[in-house]
């Protein structure tokens, strides 16, 4: 069964304080609506690039407002983070939240952000390997960089709650070899050979490579992120209007497609966006074969400029109407199962000794 998750959007046309307040209210509302997890992205330098440079700070505030929902990073850009400080922050957050942290990491991020952190984006995979090794050593309670230093508080089994994000089959294989979780994007570029391929045609081979690479004792953890705004029928026209600019821009920037001659519903299909009434979203999600192959699905409204009120209502409809019809798992049991869904400690103790590989 696939657990239901939520992914924040922090791009409202509002001051930063309001953006963060909206996100915290949405996470609390997601928990009240039965979502198993809430995830936040990390972006630096600018209100138009994601709006949140410090995910652990926001998640600490969310931990104070919630009791059960999993709190995840999707993702930490490890090449431009201090991996030791990231491990310390994660360990503190895990204590504050009662063990609810999930750690998504990646080698990517906005290339223009790297220079300010003194890093070369062309070396991101090499830097990721180094930082990932430090990160895992710190979380695992081993000495860091040849010293006897160990982080406080101890991180417990946090090293078993790492997820790697990737666009590629090889990235899925690398995540599987380590017994980590796998994070899949809400959309991704198509190949020139098949520009109209459905998203699951690209992501199912990644999932298959990941599952094949998992060692004995490692439980699969696969999260498929998706864009969905579910509205009551009277708000359908407004939802499509709010989707117009963002989805047309996404089609141009990610897919290089001229969509000036397409209607917004066609643009939504092109960009793997599920927007509309309960019946419409259920129908479009039903065609996505990657979600049933995943253990978790997290829904965000981005790239739709949805209002705070529509986002809250969409959370309610996803949980109460969409999830039951598609078999997504919600409620206390779903949140509890996420907390215990990591690799067996005995298996991961061996895996952690191997050098980490970067993600794509």
3-class secondary structure for 7-46? ECCCCCCCCHHHHHHHHHHHHHHHHHCCCCEEEECCCCCC
- Asked if pLDDT for residue 360 goes beyond 50, the answer is no
The share of the chain scoring above pLDDT 70, in percent, equals 95
2-226+291-307+326-351: CATH architecture: Alpha-Beta Barrel (3.20)
The arithmetic mean of pLDDT across residues 201-229, rounded, is 97
pLDDT of residue 330: 98
pLDDT tens per residue across span 267-276: 999 999 999 9
Query: Torsion over CA of 146, 217, 224 and 283, rounded to 10 degrees?
Result: 180
Which uninterrupted H or E stretch holds 145? none
Window from 4-8, 140-144, 283-287 with minimum mean pLDDT: 140-144
| 59 alpha carbon, distance to own chain's centre | 14
User: What six digits make up the tokens of 331?
Assistant: 């409620």
Do the beta carbons of residue 335 and residue 49 sit within 8 Å?
no
| 83 alpha carbon, distance to own chain's centre | 19
Backbone angles phi, psi at 131, to 5 degrees: -65, -35
**Nearest alpha-carbon partner for 273 in 187, 196, 198, 203:** 187
Give the separation between CA 195 and CA 294, rounded to whole angstroms.
24
The residue with tokens 């895996």 is: 351
Domain ranges of the chain: 2-226+291-307+326-351
pLDDT of residue 50: 81
pTM: 0.94
Tell whether omega for the bond before 16 is within 30 degrees of 0, i.e. cis: no
Average pLDDT, the chain: 93
- Asked if pLDDT for residue 228 goes beyond 60, the answer is yes
Backbone angles phi, psi at 224, to 5 degrees: -100, 115
The arithmetic mean of pLDDT across residues 304-326, rounded, is 98
- Asked if pLDDT for residue 117 goes beyond 80, the answer is yes
CA distances in angstroms from 350 to 127, 131, 178, listed in the order given = 23, 19, 9
| 193 alpha carbon, distance to own chain's centre | 28
Tell whether omega for the bond before 181 is within 30 degrees of 0, i.e. cis: no
pLDDT of residue 110: 83
């Amino acid at each position: 069964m696939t657990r239901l998750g939520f992914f924040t959007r922090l791009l409202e046309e509002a001051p930063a304080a309001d953006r963060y307040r909206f996100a915290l209210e949405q996470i609390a509302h997601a928990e009240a609506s039965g979502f198993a997890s809430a995830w936040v992205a990390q972006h630096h330098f600018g209100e138009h690039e994601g709006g949140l440079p410090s995910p652990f700070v926001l998640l600490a505030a969310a931990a104070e407002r919630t009791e059960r929902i999993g709190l995840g990073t999707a993702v930490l850009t490890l090449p431009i983070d201090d991996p030791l400080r990231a491990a310390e922050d994660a360990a503190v957050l895990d204590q504050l939240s009662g063990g609810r942290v999930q750690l998504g990491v990646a080698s990517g991020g906005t290339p223009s952000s790297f220079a300010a952190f003194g890093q070369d984006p062309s070396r991101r995979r090499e830097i990721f390997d180094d930082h990932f090794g430090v990160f895992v050593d710190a979380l695992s309670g081993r000495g860091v960089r040849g010293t006897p230093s160990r982080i406080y508080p101890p991180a417990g089994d946090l090293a078993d709650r790492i997820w790697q994000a990737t666009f590629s089959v090889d990235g899925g294989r690398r995540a599987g070899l380590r017994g980590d979780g796998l994070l899949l994007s809400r959309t991704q570029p198509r190949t020139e050979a098949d520009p109209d391929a459905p998203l699951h045609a690209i992501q199912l081979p990644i999932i298959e490579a990941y599952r094949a690479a998992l060692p004995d004792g490692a439980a699969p953890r696969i999260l498929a992120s998706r864009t969905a705004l579910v509205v009551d029928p009277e708000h359908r026209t407004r939802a499509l209007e709010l989707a117009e600019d963002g989805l047309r821009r996404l089609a141009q920037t990610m897919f290089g497609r001229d969509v000036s001659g397409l209607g917004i519903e066609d643009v939504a299909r092109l960009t793997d966006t599920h927007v509309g009434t309960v019946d419409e979203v259920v129908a479009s999600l039903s065609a996505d074969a990657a979600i049933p192959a995943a253990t978790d699905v997290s829904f965000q409204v981005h790239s739709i400029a949805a209002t705070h009120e529509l986002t809250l209502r969409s959370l309610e409809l996803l949980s109460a109407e969409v999830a039951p019809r598609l078999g997504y798992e919600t409620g206390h049991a779903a949140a509890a199962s996420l907390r215990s869904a990591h690799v067996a400690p005995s298996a991961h103790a061996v895996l952690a000794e191997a050098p980490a590989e970067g993600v794509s």
